[in-house]
Structure 1
Amino acid sequence: MTMRNSGSASDGTSRSAIMPDNETIFSWVEDLTAFSGRGTQTVDDRRSADYLLDAFRGFGLTDVQVQEAESFHWSAVRSELTVGGTSIPHSPVVFSFETEGGNGPFSTGPDGLTAPIVDVGDGEEEDFARVDAKGGIVLFDLRFVLPRSALLAVGEFFYDPHGGVDPADMETANPYLSTYAAVLERAMAAGAAGFVGVLADYFDSHDIRPEYTEGVTVPGLWVTRTTGARLRDLLASGATTATLRLEGERVPTPARTVIGYLPGRGTDTVMIQSHHDSAWAGGVEDASGTAEVLALASYFSQVPQAERPKTLMFVLMDSHWTGYQAHEKFVDTFITHPVGPRRIVANVTLEHIAKQAEIGPDGRLQIHDRPEYRGIFENVSPPLKTVIENAVTTHGLERTIRLPADKLFPLVGELPTDADLVYQAGVPVINLISGPLYLYDRADTLDKVYKPDLAPVARAFADIIDHLAAMPSDRIRA
């Protein structure tokens, strides 16, 4: 296979280590997408963890291990929605209908839930104030609330050498932040018995599986924007009730975090992270991020220990979708209450090497053969901010924004990357992520990965990691 020399170390010395090329990195993405719904999205799933253990050992990493944490698997075995005798296409709202105690079966009963439909529009407080939702099936429009324009407004650096920004793209919002939790809190407080969420800001799909929202005790279904309009037409024509069925179970299953080390001259440690679990095939989320971590592990394994000032720790998480229990246990074990001399002094996280997506004129998903807009969230010192910008420009990572994590966190309430809990534990971060529209959808297949950027992203972050490793630990954080 063809490999590329990544250049030189941060001290200017030449280096013989070579970075895997696009084809090699993409082959790892292909392997991982074959394990569809991997990690905690499949009961007691060991496939991706075993694959990654073998890869780490093959690269010569040391102290390779799996840390397990108790998580769960949610699945629906039956769902139906009918209005006025008309069957309505839909998908179950994953993690809804949570029972007391968490795990166990859930069911609306043999006859389902038949109740009045209560249309609350966007589901704001004033929308609920004008209706009686008690005992009803709430119909609401789900809204996404983080458009690209907001990230650009907060960003301190944006690399767009060819002027490729289309103002029409700026209001496209990714599905990470939405009105779901707030609307459901109002619906349950009003005594609603169930809900139907209209994906009002989405392309023509109801196959969405957002991350876990705790405490949604009523059953719910997703419908597309087109289907939502059809439902409202049925209401206008006199249909007032719906029958909603949802049956399934939530069962405990372990989350598995794969860990491996490359010892350096010192025990201060740079952590390099992604997550290996997925909702569907997960080509972008997050086979692509996992493959980037493998590329960096492969590359730095070729660097002699004497040339690694700090220890490198490679971490591939689980439970990204089911409540971050693996992340909580990792932080407690390795950051909050560490045993041994290693001390994590910086975190690098890589997620979502993605093609840009928009909603086309026909409402369908439109994919462009160019990189999705992406952010590098960081809270590091000015010299390292410059390192980030140089790495982005040197390796041609177009449409990349550098964003100050400490300014964004108070606005959002969390860091929108897999390293949120690591960041909250006080570790300085440099986190690459994009938020394409299809991120949580069945449409996140292998073809959505922006293959030309796989090796350039790895090379850029090799440069960044070199500088993190060479910088005194007390000078890393802003």
Structure 2
Amino acid sequence: MRRRDVLLGSSALGVGAALPALPPAPYLPDEDTIFGWIKTVYSHGIRRPGYPADVWAERWIASRFRRFGLERVRLEPVPAQRWRPHRWSLRVTPNGGATRSVPCYPVPYAAPADGLELELAGYDPSVSAAGKAVLYDVRFLRLPADLGLSAVLPDRVVDPDRTLPGTEHVLPFGPELLAVMEPSIAAGAAAFIGSLTGHPDDSHHYYVPYDAVRRPIPGVWISGSDGAWLRGLLAAGPVHVRLTATSTVDTITSHNVVGELPGADDDLVIVGSHHDGPWSSAVEDGSGIALVLAQAAYWSSVPAAERPHRMVFLLHAAHVAGFTGQLDFIARHRAELDRTVLEVHLEHAARLPANGLPVPRWFFTSQVPALEAAVRGALVAEGVHRSLILTPTALGEQPPTDAAFYYRAGVPIVNFLSAPYYLFDRADTLDKVDRAGLVPLTRATIRVIQSTRGVTPADWRRLVSRPPSTIARPNRRRAEAERQKRS
């Protein structure tokens, strides 16, 4: 990570700026209510695009929006690629040894295979793997939990108990991100066997890649321990495998779920997440659905004049099938984006199973001093600890969120996301949800949205529309002046 991109050399976030008061409201959902929504969504099963649980979720979310009194509630159609696995197995036979079945799971959108018999080879970029099944290690990235910021940019870290420094954050990706099969394909492999090396749970249930790109060879995931066993066999002599991974891909119509509320003016604040998930997925993104519903419930109980702008509540379709819901909404609503003051995205209220602490919370925030100060102030006020305030480009060319392309479109953003190692795993179950954080996250988001009162789209876009390298360094004096100007 490039620390310069975190704040371009400054850690001053206007900590002393006055916080906007929460408007009075008769209804702020409590923890049991928000978690109850997650349980309801989770109970319907695997929520991939086009699966019955996701079709149900679209209609259920729309019904909640209507119950809250939102206007223009609608399902906007989005074409998506539905991937359905049917049968999968991996049988391994060492030279002169007994055949053994190895637990596996198909690689999404990879080519199907039925009883494909191949010689196994370990991946070596300098050696052709033509006609062979390649054993390839995917090693989950491990980073300092505070990304090294506590010592150098402390205002970027909200961690008063100092639980982040000196600890490790295991991400749900290897350095290849979604391009896990490409090295093996480039080596001429006829099949891919991905070993999840170093996975904390030694799992093989992994839904990656999820970009809906069809790969030309079949593949399966196996656990890191089984991968190590296979490497031991290869060291002793030839190994043959028999691979089955049958699946179908078809085009279906999913839907972005949208509802609106009038506000003090016709400029927009968008509050979003996505409704699909790789499994039943309590965290990814059952929690995102519930956090958006909590915002809709709250703001629907506030008089229109006390909403800072017109509000759009949005659950994208097909995040785990190539992000097509996000892309479709941006293409369809270009004019509305031009008058959007802020896009807030809420994803993954997650806890660590080992100690119950929240997974490090990332808040990707446009480099606008007043907005950065509002985010920090809200996190401090509501006790949303173990949080990092990051620039949109802190971890790459765009945020690793379901709202990345809003940033690319020039819209100011605050994207909340945590990235637990189990995010794309079947182990994303109800016990992984950060229950205690649901209400504080909701209240902090309300404060951030309230801070946009009086702000126009042009006010902040004059900063975010520039390349990040040219944005002036923010400081407390500038943040305070900006706040006073808005108030």
- The TM-score range, normalised by the shorter chain, is 0.7 to 0.9
State the partner residue of 2:3: none
Mapped to 2, the partners of 1:348 and 1:180 lie a distance apart of 24
Residue pair 2:140, 2:196 contacting (<8 A) in 1 also: no
Cα pair distance change 1:177/1:338, threshold 3 Å: farther
Distance in 2 (alpha carbons) for counterparts of 1:397 and 1:190 = 46
Partner Cα separation in structure 2 for residue 178 and residue 35 of structure 1: 33
1:199 to 2:183 alignment: no
- Cα distance in 1, alignment partners of residues 180 and 448 from structure 2: 41
**1:323 deviation in Å?**
0.5
3-state SS of paired residue (1:468): coil
The SS at the match of 1:195 is: strand
Distance 1:41 1:162 in 2: 44
3-state SS of paired residue (2:356): strand
1:429 alignment partner AA: I
Q: What's 1:369 paired with?
A: 356
Render the CA deviation track for 1:267-293: whole Å, top value 9, x for unaligned.
110000011111112111111111111
TM-score of the superposed pair, with normalisation by structure 2: 0.84
- CA displacement at 1:222 relative to structure 2: 0.7
Residue in structure 2 matched with residue 4 of structure 1 by the alignment: none
Quote the residue 2:25 is aligned against. Answer: 16
Unaligned runs of 5+ in 1: 1-8, 98-105, 121-126, 357-365
- 1:423 deviates by 1.3
Change (3 A) 1:10 1:233: closer
Give the SS at the match of 1:79. Answer: strand
Shift of 1:238: 2.5
1:447 is the counterpart of 2:431: yes
- The two structures have a TM-score, normalised by structure 1, of 0.86
| 1:150 shift after superposition | 7.4
Equivalence for 1:361: none
2:345 matches 1:349: yes
2: CA distance between counterparts of 1:88 and 1:306? Answer: 61
CA contact (8 A) 1:134 1:190 kept: yes
Q: State how 1:261-272 maps to structure 2 within 5 Å.
A: 261-272=260-271
CA distance in 2, matches of 1:454, 1:210: 27
Q: Which residue of 1 aligns with 2:39?
A: 30
Instruction: Give the conservation status (yes or no) of the 8 Å contact 1:271–1:313.
Output: yes
Aligned to 1:334: 333
Pair 45,374 (structure 1): closer, same or farther in 2 beyond 3 Å: closer
Task: Give me the whole-angstrom Cα distance separating, in 1, the residues matched to 2:346 and 2:23.
Answer: 26
Task: Give the structure 1 partner of residue 372 of structure 2.
Answer: 385
Q: Residue 186 of structure 1: CA displacement?
A: 2.7
Please show how residues 39-438 of structure 1 align to structure 2 within 5 Å.
39-40=48-49, 42=51, 45-84=54-93, 85-97=99-111, 106=112, 108-109=113-114, 112-120=115-123, 127-129=124-126, 131-145=127-141, 147-149=143-145, 151-153=147-149, 157-165=156-164, 167=166, 169-170=167-168, 172-176=169-173, 178-179=175-176, 181-182=178-179, 184-203=181-200, 204-213=202-211, 214-335=213-334, 337-338=335-336, 343-356=339-352, 366-405=353-392, 407-408=393-394, 412-438=396-422
In 1, the alpha carbon distance for the partners of 2:102 and 2:133 equals 14
Give the conservation status (yes or no) of the 8 Å contact 2:78–2:253. yes
Task: Report the alpha carbon displacement of residue 88 of structure 1 after superposing the two structures with TM.
Answer: 1.2
Displacement, 1:182? 4.5
Which segment is superposed worse, 224-233 or 52-61? 224-233
Is 1:347–1:428's contact at 8 Å kept on the other side of the alignment? yes
Q: Percent of pairs identical after alignment?
A: 34
AA at the equivalent of 1:25: I
Preserved contact between residue 264 and residue 307 of structure 1 (Cα < 8 Å): yes
Partner residue in 2 for 1:362: none
| Separation in structure 2 between the aligned mates of residue 71 and residue 44 of structure 1, nearest angstrom | 15
**Superposition deviation, residue 471 in structure 1:** 2.4
Does structure 2 conserve the Cα–Cα contact (< 8 Å) formed by 1:142 and 1:180? no
Quote how far apart the aligned CAs of 1:241 are. Answer: 1.8
Code of the aligned partner of 1:285:
E
The amino acid of 1:15's aligned partner reads P
Q: CA, structure 1 residues 14+317, in 2 after alignment: closer, same or farther (shift >3 Å)? A: closer
> Could you tell me how far apart the structure 2 residues matched to 1:455 and 1:354 are?
13
SS for the counterpart of 1:321 is: helix
Find the residue that maps to 2:450 and give its secondary structure: helix
Per the TM alignment, residue 211 of structure 1 is displaced from its structure 2 partner at its CA by 4.2
SS of 2:314 mapped into structure 1? strand
Change (3 A) 1:434 1:218: same
SS of residue matched to 1:367: coil
1:316-347, CA deviations, whole angstroms, 9 ceiling, x for partnerless residues? 11101001111111001112x559xx832210
Q: Which amino acid aligns with 1:68?
A: P
Please tell me whether the aligned partners of residues 274 and 315 of structure 1 are also in contact (alpha carbons under 8 angstroms): yes
Q: What is the one-letter code of the residue matched to 2:287?
A: S
| Counterpart Cα distance in 1 of 2:436 and 2:178 | 37
Cα distance change, pair 21–192 in 1 and its aligned pair in 2 (3 A): same
Deviations 1:391-424 (A, max 9, x none): 101100110000011x42xx52331111011111
**Alpha-carbon contact 1:59-1:301 (below 8 Å) kept:** yes
What residue in structure 2 maps to residue 5 of structure 1?
Answer: none
Kept in 1: contact 2:272–2:346 (CA 8 A): yes
The answer to whether the 8 Å contact 2:341/2:456 transfers is no
Judge conservation of contact 2:54–2:276 (CA < 8 Å) in 1.
no
What letter matches 2:105 in structure 1?
S
2:243 is aligned with what amino acid? L
SS at match of 2:342: strand
Distance 1:34 1:181 in 2: 28
Question: 1:374 corresponds to which letter in structure 2?
Answer: R
Superposed displacement of residue 139, structure 1: 0.6
Q: CA deviation at 1:151?
A: 3.5
Distance in 2 separating the partners of 1:28 and 1:44: 14
Alpha-carbon RMSD: 2.2
CA distance change for structure 1 residues 62 and 227 in 2, over 3 Å: closer, same or farther?
same
SS in 2 for 1:386: helix
AA aligned opposite 2:275: H
